[in-house]
Structure 1
Amino acid sequence: MTAPHDPSGVHPVIGVDAGTATLREADHLIRDLTTTLALPPGTVACTHLIRTDARRGTAVSLELPDGGAAEEAWRRLTETELGAALHDRRHGPSEAAALAAAEHTARRSGRAVLYAGVERLTGRVTVADLLETAIDQLTVVGAPLATPDPTTPVLTQNHVRPEWREGRLVLALVPAVGNTLAPFEVPNPTPCCADHSDQPRHAAGNS
């Protein structure tokens, strides 16, 4: 597995809230932040469902590889109107951002969009290829105790979204045609963004 995560959770995590409502919007936000914050290699970005009295929607979390990268991202965020949280620091409407950061830091939940090796998960890959990325564990819906053969083909549709579960990045798979597997969450582009193959039709639950 490449670039393993530090299980102690010492990498700094920034939560960001742009008022997004859906996972699709949160995915787009992560893509935008990758550019506007100049996120460095090694960043892990996740989406989170937020359900509080004050907020119903989504927020994102950014795990930076080191303190210097986190400080630079924080500086850029404070120049915007986005809500943000880093440790005990807050900027703008930050409740949802702080919740997202806390969940990611504890590895309790979070749907990973950006992580080590994701760029290689396009088209048809194998189970072994999935486990050469930051993904720690695979589960097959309907057969939770089964271990997929490493050579089993996986039809990614260029959309692979593992989730944090009890400290591990876990990807749910389902059986597909021709003795293959596919990610449980599948893309569903709309006419306005059909060129983005990473749009979810449904997703496994996350925070």
Structure 2
Amino acid sequence: MDSKKYLEDLTHIKDMMRRSSRFLSLSGLSGILAGLYAMAGATIAYIFLFPPKGEYLTLHSWNFKLSVALLLVIALLSMLTAYLLTTKKARKNNEKIWDETTKRLLFHFLVPLITGGLYILIKLNSQHYGLTASLMLIFYGLALLNASKYTLGNVQYLGVAEIILGLVCAVFPGYGFWFWVVGFGVLHIVYGSLIYCREEAT
């Protein structure tokens, strides 16, 4: 009996340590919705903003500015959705939404992401457009991989998948748009669905 209680106490302590070092309230539904936002934005861009075949969006063109605005709207919607759903889940699990673990998570996620964003802008300003989608996927994957040690462990698999997809995209830069759709749309929906199914099962 004492042995059983001892093992239960150890399990409880291990769970407390895991929760104190990792942010575990990420919502699977937010991943699904982020993927849907990305695919909706890609559809709008494909129909209304794409230049003729063989041409690129130039940095100072009106369509490029609209494309950047569309990307920002998608990013803001995704972040707002993630915040609302994650906050809801954290309250349900009696967990803090803002603590040292959350700060570490955001720091390790945002440093590669912001670095990548600035590098992409520098390349665009130099009129190097062909690898934009590839760089976005790679730096986003690196951000996920870097932050994965402070949240759900399987986030690293999404990060690795994004990096691999970005490298393949670099080999086929003419299909960057479609790689972007797969990386930010399809992979998010698949990953979010897996997390959501696990949430429903527990």
TM-score category of the 2 structures, normalised to the smaller one: under 0.3
- Larger proportion of strand: 1
- Larger proportion of helix: 2
Q: Which has the larger radius of gyration?
A: 2
- TM-score when normalising by structure 1: 0.24
- TM-score when normalising by structure 2: 0.24
